[in-house]
Amino acid sequence: MDKLKILLAKGRIYESVYELLSDVGISIHLPDRTYFPTTNQEDLAFQVVKPQIVSLLLANNKADMGFSGKDWVYENGCQDDVVEIMDLGFDPVRIVAAIPEARDFDKLLKSPVTIATEYQALSRKWVEDKKIDGTIFRTWGTSEGFVQDNEDSIAQILIDNTSTGSSLKANRLKIVDTLMESSTRMYASKTAMADPAKKQKIMELKMLFETVLNARSRVMLEMNCAEDKFDTLIKGIPSMKSPTVSPLFGGNGYAIKIAVKKSEVPTLLPKLQSLGATDIVEYELRKVML
């Protein structure tokens, strides 16, 4: 099999994916002023590109696999020309329409409007669906400054991505509609998925990523329990499958291991103690294969 060609997007996506690759055992190093990271995997080849073009390159079979926000896949109109392998859940955002806080959306639409946005295709579809008399003004990067509550404002509506809405609020803008929700996802070209060897490698990578993501949301708890408390404790504890139980030396009780969701720990620890657990230890997991 030829090397699997993988696209890494610059910016926030790169940092998240770099950490994920590292956690599965794939190290990459990007020398200064280059776009081709070195790696400890002989069957993988990486290239760093702008996040906006990952899906276009995959759709045109210029690479086998890549990481992109769902928003740019749809902005490029590539959703039917690439294969979504998995949602990594990184950098979740909403693509929203926003206007000045003091303005009324319905009144605003009674006159022709200008829409400031990086997302030209998504905005055109939104304008058509809403039957808005609007002109799209292309921006790059930060765009909040183009929409102000005055007659000299370049645009009256902003379409942009937001995670918390704090930047919009700081610029006195309010959300009036959500076009879509997006996050970083793993995509493959259709040609790569039609190649049995490449498809197998892509699905193996997916499996490895899943083990790391599963582990990030869980912890292992170890505890001891006296013999007379054992049945009550076992009935009251959650576990991914069933707990691991070993007799303590001397036959005075049991050692118990359970893997649980991190979100359950704050309420679970007091419960375990009340059920008779002692010597409770919590530690992180690196990989979990369900």
**Alpha-carbon gap, residue 254 to 243, rounded angstroms:** 12
pLDDT at residue 274 is higher than 70 = yes
pLDDT single digits (tens) 62-107? 999 999 999 999 999 999 999 999 999 999 999 999 999 999 999 9
* Beta strands in 79-162, from DSSP E residues, in sequence order: 82-100, 113-117, 134-138, 157-162
Residues 6+ apart with CB under 8 A from 36: 45, 46, 47, 48
pLDDT single digits (tens) 25-36? 999 999 888 999
pLDDT at residue 240 is higher than 70 = no
pLDDT at residue 53 is higher than 70 = yes
Mean pLDDT of 39-43: 96
Burial of 189 (0-12, 13-18, 19+ CB in 10 A): buried
Mean pLDDT of 43-53: 96
What's the confidence (pLDDT) of residue 49? Answer: 97
Backbone angles phi, psi at 286, to 5 degrees: -100, -40
Q: The tokens of 283 are what?
A: 């530690």
What's the confidence (pLDDT) of residue 236? Answer: 85
**Alpha-carbon gap, residue 25 to 41, rounded angstroms:** 9
pLDDT above 70 covers a percentage of the chain that reads 99
Q: The tokens of 279 are what?
A: 């010597």
Sorting pLDDT into bands at 50, 70 and 90, what band is 250?
confident
Q: The tokens of 137 are what?
A: 């003004």
Residue 147 DSSP label? B
What's the confidence (pLDDT) of residue 32? Answer: 86
pLDDT at residue 141 is higher than 80 = no
Burial of 258 (0-12, 13-18, 19+ CB in 10 A): buried
